[in-house]
Amino acid sequence: MSYSLPAPFDVKLMNVTATVLFVGVAALGLAAVSWWALRHPAFNIGRIVVEGELVHNNTVTLRANVAPVLTGNFFTVDLKGAKAAFEQVPWVREAQVRRDYPNSLRVILHEHVAEAFWGPDSGTGLVNSFGEVFEANLGELDRDGLPRLQGPEDSAPQMLQMYRLLVPALGPLDVEIDGLTLNARGSWQLRLANDAQIELGGGSVEAVLQRVQRFVRTLPQITTQYKRKADAIESADLRYEDGYALRLRGVTTGTAKAPAAVRPRR
């Protein structure tokens, strides 16, 4: 039989001491390397690569605007701060920022796509394709004929959805929508490109669309009778259960000031 004797205390102490010294030296070495890397000019941010479909910005101006606010090097730069800095640039909706070894940042930008003006005629707000309101230089718009949406705060997504539904519903009239308003009571009003005002009323989206579809379906009966086209509409009120009130330019029905009440054939 063989027996193993426990190591003497001094041997154990030497082993523990050696281990502690090894770990300490390794930690000091790692700290020294980290200190060198954090301060070595080779790791300063020397390049910012910008990607994305840019319409209202270019990489030169973006780098010039954002680079001065970036602090630190490749290892220490605040990516959240860099993201926020890029998203402060006009027309930028979202920025994704990541490190690109050894001394670069790679940025993917998504710009706002304007779908409508927002607020009063004097305002500079815009609504993007996600229904979000943003501010930008209106002189940089790359689209003409945007409608104007006006409604309560935080109603832009709902209004953009309604606008997108109304465009095809009114398509047969061949008259573009110039503006859409939602008042505090939940009632909708439409302004066409020929300045015609159309009261759509309130209720569910389905109820509003049903009234619009009835109007579009039956309007040719009226315009043909008076030898007019859809662009002769001056005003219409669709808030009637079984018809609508209509005023056509150049046509006098009823009194001189009151629009005609129309109960169209189904």
pLDDT tens, residue by residue, 12-71: 556 556 565 655 555 555 544 455 555 556 668 888 899 999 999 998 888 888 988 888
The CA distance from 148 to 68, in Å, is 37
CA dihedral for 55, 61, 138, 182, sign (positive or negative):
positive
pLDDT at position 181 is 98
CA 1 to chain centre: 82
pLDDT at position 46 is 83
Which domains, ranges and CATH numbers included, belong to the chain? Answer: 42-109 (3.10.20.310), 112-246 (3.40.50.11690)
Question: Residues of the chain whose pLDDT is less than 50?
Answer: 31-33, 254-258
Burial of 251 per CB tally in 10 Å (0-12, 13-18, 19+)? middle
Cα within 13 Å of Cα(264), Cβ side: 21
Other Cβ atoms within 10 Å of 118 Cβ, number: 24
User: Which long-range contacts link 61-69 to residues 24+ away (Cβ below 8 Å)?
Assistant: 62/86, 62/89, 62/107, 62/109, 65/89
pLDDT at position 251 is 85
pLDDT at position 16 is 57
Beta strand extents in 21-86 (DSSP E only): 47-51
Q: How far apart are the first and last CA of the chain?
A: 110
pLDDT at position 122 is 82
Query: For residue 18, is it left (φ>0), alpha (ψ between -120 and 50) or beta?
Result: alpha
pLDDT at position 102 is 85
Distances (CA, A) of 251 to 219, 234, 256, 257: 15, 10, 9, 11
Strands 177-182 and 188-192 come out as antiparallel
Query: For residue 227, is it left (φ>0), alpha (ψ between -120 and 50) or beta?
Result: left
Contact 222, 262 (CB under 8 A): yes
Contact 151, 182 (CB under 8 A): yes
